Amino acid sequence: MALFKNKWEIKTWADLSASVADASNALEFRPVHRLPYVLQQGPKASKKVGGFFKRDSVLKSADYPGGYYIYDTGSGASYTATPRTEFKADMTEFLNSSSLSATAKANISTSFNNTLFPSLIVQCDTSSFTGSLTGSGPCTASWEVPCAFIGDATSALQIVNTSTNATNITLAAAGELITGSVSTVEFTLPMETMSFTGTFASRSIEFSAFTGSEYTPTTYANSAIYTPHGGTETTASIIGKIWGSGSFSSHPRGLYDHVEYGGYLKALGDGVDSIYVYTGKIDILHFPAGSVVASASFTKIYDKLDTNMTGSSGSAGTIYFVSGSLSATGSQVDGSAYFWDNTLTETLINNQDSGSHVFADAALSTPAAEGIYVFSGSTSASLVTFPTPNIQAFPRVPRFSGYKY
């Protein structure tokens, strides 16, 4: 079998297609949304300055109505076929967007349009980014997920996809499946921002909006492939669909309630999907509408193991927590170890995991640091730490433990 540069098979598209069924080849058909990075997000992509490749122009078929290509799982080479009409239109658009002079454009256009092209133009590319079975490699999965949010308003929860060198992403919910929900959804375009509407009463969040710098929100919203609970795979719009379900939890002292959601992210890049893995579980806390965010100022913070408080590990600052009341019932905070509301009428010592979640900002997007806090006006210090982890996950947000020093 002849290979060009020891990588590409020298065959027509028809021959390449026929070779897919040949066991001696490592070729397979793949849907267009799994195109290599260089053709979707890289310098060849037409949406990038100077790019010429349009994935929407790739050859389509009854089995692949969105388009498809041939991928060599052995070498990482890919073959795309573009019909002659679309190819000429794309190249003309690319030429017209260049900085060449009008005369040069006219001369090139004349020569180009006088060329007798075949009915299908085959393009060969080599994957630029590959992953590995251990999850390392150029394609990385990362996201910015707030620790908590309050209320049920549209777009109350916003997640930012910060994955790098990815062609698309997959979200998996850690919660239970409920009617009308989806547990896993693959977005065939790597949008940047995903917004959700929370519904505290039904312990659920649902997809509400998507934004990014490359496509319209509608295009992003329609780029999902998911399987509804009890249904079959679909490419219908994901807007309004429930992403798993949350677990209802009551404060250990029964002073406020919250719902906890969990999720996983996987970013896909060049190569077969099996080489990519999900990130660790991320938890999100959902508090009911009307919840009050209280705050307390501290003068010093010590390491959580420094019970004798001999070496300060932080300067003065402010921590934030959700009040147990749905209205502001007071503002005096005395450095108690519990902070479940603003009145602080009860005192309990060494009651492990008895206090509120503690955050570093009023938006509840960032957890506070673990440590022993000395609060303004207090003669004792309070331990802020994570509760004992369960088998499934370690929580993201520490709590007032109940221990005082």
The per-residue pLDDT for range 250-298, each reduced to its tens digit, is 776 656 788 999 999 999 988 778 888 999 899 999 999 888 888 888 8
Distance from C-alpha of 202 to C-alpha of 206, rounded to nearest angstrom: 11
Q: Is the pLDDT of residue 363 over 90?
A: yes
- Rounded percentage of the chain residues whose pLDDT exceeds 70: 85
Lowest mean pLDDT among 174-188, 273-287, 390-404: 390-404
Q: Around Cβ 369, how many Cβ atoms within 10 Å?
A: 17
For residues 43-57, give the mean pLDDT.
85
Task: Specify burial of residue 179 (Cβ count, 10 A radius: 0-12, 13-18, 19+).
Answer: exposed
Please say whether the beta carbons of 366 and 358 come within 8 A.
no
- Give the residue, 49 or 359, on which the prediction is more confident: 359
Lowest mean pLDDT among 74-88, 120-134, 367-381: 120-134
The number of C-alpha atoms within 13 Å of 385 and in the hemisphere containing its C-beta is: 22
Measured N-to-C along each axis, helices 102-113 and 84-96 cross at an angle, to the nearest 10 degrees, of 170
Distance of CA 261 to the CA centre of its chain: 14
Q: Which of 79, 99, 98 is nearest to 12 (CA)?
A: 79
Distance from C-alpha of 206 to C-alpha of 199, rounded to nearest angstrom: 8
User: What is the reported pLDDT for 341?
Assistant: 39
- Rounded percentage of the chain residues whose pLDDT exceeds 90: 36
Distance from C-alpha of 399 to C-alpha of 293, rounded to nearest angstrom: 15
When computed from its CA atoms, the radius of gyration of the chain, rounded to whole angstroms, is 28
User: What is the reported pLDDT for 394?
Assistant: 65
Pairing of strands 371-375, 381-385: antiparallel
- Per residue in 332-362, pLDDT (tens digit) is 333 333 443 343 333 444 444 557 888 999 9
Angle, alpha carbons 159-213-273 (nearest 5°): 65
User: What is the reported pLDDT for 388?
Assistant: 66
